[in-house]
Amino acid sequence: MPDNKIKYNALGLVSGTSLDGLDIAYCTFISGRSGWEFRINHANTYPYPDNLKNKLAHAHDLDGFSLMLLHKSYGKYIGQKVNGFIRSQGCKPELISSHGHTVFHQPDKALTFQIGDGNTIAAETGITTVSDFRSLDVALGGEGAPLVPIGDKLLFSEYEFCLNLGGFSNISYETTGGMMAFDPSPVNLAINYLMEFLNKDYDKDGETGRKGDINKKLLNELDQLPYYLQNPPKSLGKEWVDKKFKPILNKYDIVIKDKLRTVYEHIANQVTRTIRGQKPGKLLATGGGANNIFLIERIQANSDHQIIVPDQLIVNFKEALIFAFLGVLRLRNETNCLATVTGAKTNNIGGSIVTR
């Protein structure tokens, strides 16, 4: 291969807080003097069966022994899904890079835990596996999140801003002091919670929220939550939504469509507030929320930046792509977590490697 290029074939695995399912992306990365090239060769989302979805949703309530059993059984589930994916696609990955499913994320207590045991994944698949990407950064005093900015920096440098709209929103951009990235707000975790009251899993295209009216009092109370007044580095977890966000929604006796409309405006407010004053540029929007037409409309209406929604492979599997990339960087013993983003004492190389 010319230009001393080195090629890596890796699987990236992600389970988001929205519990949509397990994302698997088979990716190729090529390293050369001019930087990194990449492509997503194949990708699929495996929706969780109801019993597993329920276990993951309530994992934070388990006793220690039961949680570790789920950690192992979920790792086996991941390994089996990977084996099925490999058979169906006929691919030959050299590496599995698994984020796992977050149960606890409380960096202020030096705690983060993602289940999906990497040892079990490697045992099931026979493939070198990297997992537990956040723990080192948290031990170094960092937030352990977001992790995708190194991928934004090295793989998507043609965009001034990268925004992911998943369970939470995550934004990253380059500043004179280095890469800046953090979680502006909850997104699908809040929207889907409200849609449950209508016996639906999600708000397709934002159609329900579009029909509602903004409740200014609710909007103001959400916008004034103390988290939003903190300076980065900062990150959000499901615990924060349960303790701080949902109680505000629940105390307002208004119809669900009005709550939804207000939450959409809140998300747009918080996402655009974080980059207001920055020189106008291109903003790459990905994640499940990028398919929500009304949400993208509201963010664009509040922003001077050009919002670009890419092809569906990138929209739906960018995070899985970047986790595959984080695993490659870990194997190369290169920085995959940035201190300017997380607030850790130093840049670090996160992830535990298991080779069967």
How do strand 35-46 and strand 161-165 relate by DSSP bridges?
unpaired
Query: Do residues 144 and 233 lie in contact, with contact meaning Cβ atoms separated by under 8 Å?
Result: no
- CATH assignment of the domain containing 350: 3.30.420.40
Does residue 167 sit in the same domain as residue 25?
no
Does residue 91 sit in the same domain as residue 221?
no
pLDDT in tens, 262-283: 999 999 999 999 899 899 999 9
Look at the chain and report how many structural domains it folds into.
2
From CA 293, how far away is CA 40, in angstroms rounded?
Answer: 24
> What is the pLDDT at residue 105?
92
Does residue 96 sit in the same domain as residue 167?
no
* Burial tier of 318 (Cβ tally within 10 Å: 0-12, 13-18, 19+): buried
From CA 222, how far away is CA 259, in angstroms rounded?
Answer: 11
Domain assignment of residue 322, yes or no: no
The overall longest dimension of the chain from CA atoms, in Å, is 65
> What is the pLDDT at residue 3?
65
Residue ranges for the chain with pLDDT beneath 50: none
> What is the pLDDT at residue 208?
98
Does residue 8 sit in the same domain as residue 48?
yes
Does residue 113 sit in the same domain as residue 174?
no
Does residue 104 sit in the same domain as residue 187?
no
Does residue 185 sit in the same domain as residue 272?
yes
> What is the pLDDT at residue 2?
54
Does residue 338 sit in the same domain as residue 280?
no
Domain assignment of residue 325, yes or no: no
Kindly give, in sequence order, each residue whose CB lies less than 8 Å from that of residue 28, ignoring residues fewer than 6 positions away: 7, 8, 9, 38, 39, 41
Does residue 118 sit in the same domain as residue 231?
no
From CA 101, how far away is CA 55, in angstroms rounded?
Answer: 11
Does residue 166 sit in the same domain as residue 265?
yes
Which residue range(s) make up the domain with 127? 2-142+332-354
Domain assignment of residue 155, yes or no: yes
